[in-house]
Amino acid sequence: MAAAIKTEAKLAQNIVKLLVGDAEVYVIEDCSNSKETSIFSGPTSVEQRSIFFKDGKVGGSVNIFLVHNKGQWSLIDAGYGKVLLPSLATIGVKVEDISTILITHMHPDHIQGLFIGNTATFPKARVFVSENEKALWIPGNRQTDANKVAEIYGTRLETLKYGAEVAPGIISVNLEGHTAGHTGYEIGSGVNRLLIVGDLIHHTTLQFFCPEECASYDADRPTLPTNSPDAIANIHPNNLAMTTLNSRN
């Protein structure tokens, strides 16, 4: 049986509301983010490339997920923050309402929305990353957005364990490979489940048909779950819908 995910409404050009069991999930498109096809080493044939790369680009967008469940508001990633605050206002949510922020990994397009200048965007939220992801970036001897997040949020930047319920109805999932601590998040239960896979997949169509394909900037390509022909089935049991943070193909 397929996962029962219902699209309830399109609230704005960049906001779609989903119902995942008892959870309300708002998909916020922060910005478009197309890439060159050279990030993939294949497919090599002209015919295959014409199928997978119709526009000569790898189309994509930076997405943020806002989850409301059991009276609590949680964010999954914060994007660049380009339209995050007006999008929250459209939904009717204040920055003070966000209690938990779950980070897939600490690349700039996933965490810059956490701060404005040297101030935390979310004054009350606890921010969670995996232990391996935090160890990868923090502390560091260079100025990075990850270190800036650590400085601004202080003790509110915390680590999580894989397989734990990190917010109401949200379970953390080990999807390491794109970075050393890359984390997915599963929302819901039973047949009503949605898996946020972060940057596990950069081109949905290509990587489903050619699971050995990885982006050139995946840090540990041999360990990526997508290297297995049964990759998506192996990530979690059946009855699971899946969505990415960057892919639009």
- Tell me the per-residue pLDDT of 18-69, one tens digit each, with 9 for 90 and over: 999 899 999 999 876 666 565 566 555 555 666 666 666 665 678 999 999 9
Task: Report the distance separating Cα 215 and Cα 230, nearest Å.
Answer: 19
With H, G, I as helix, E, B as strand and everything else as coil, classify residue 173: strand
* Cβ contact 224:216 at 8 Å: no
- Tell me the per-residue pLDDT of 80-124, one tens digit each, with 9 for 90 and over: 998 999 999 999 999 999 999 999 999 898 999 999 999 999 999
Query: Cα dist. 236→90, 175, 186, 226 in Å?
Result: 34, 11, 9, 13
189 band by pLDDT with thresholds 50, 70 and 90 = confident
163-187: average pLDDT: 92
Task: Report the distance separating Cα 211 and Cα 167, nearest Å.
Answer: 31
Domain boundaries, the chain: 5-243
Encoding tokens for residue 5? 């995910």
- Tell me the per-residue pLDDT of 218-247, one tens digit each, with 9 for 90 and over: 555 545 555 444 445 555 544 445 555 554
Q: Is the pLDDT of residue 201 over 90?
A: no
Residues in the chain, overall count: 249
* Cβ contact 175:184 at 8 Å: yes
Whether the bond between 237 and the residue before it is cis, its omega within 30 degrees of 0, is no
Of 248, 249, 176, 174, residue with least CA distance to 218: 176
Quote the pLDDT of residue 13.
85
- What CATH number does domain 5-243 carry, 3.30.160.20, 3.40.50.300, 3.60.15.10, 3.20.20.140? 3.60.15.10
6-11: average pLDDT: 71
1 band by pLDDT with thresholds 50, 70 and 90 = very low
DSSP state, residue 137: H
Quote the pLDDT of residue 206.
62
Residue 198 buriedness (CB in 10 A; 0-12 / 13-18 / 19+): buried
155-163: average pLDDT: 97
Task: Please name the residues in contact with 228: beta carbons below 8 A apart, sequence gap of 6 or more.
Answer: 211, 234
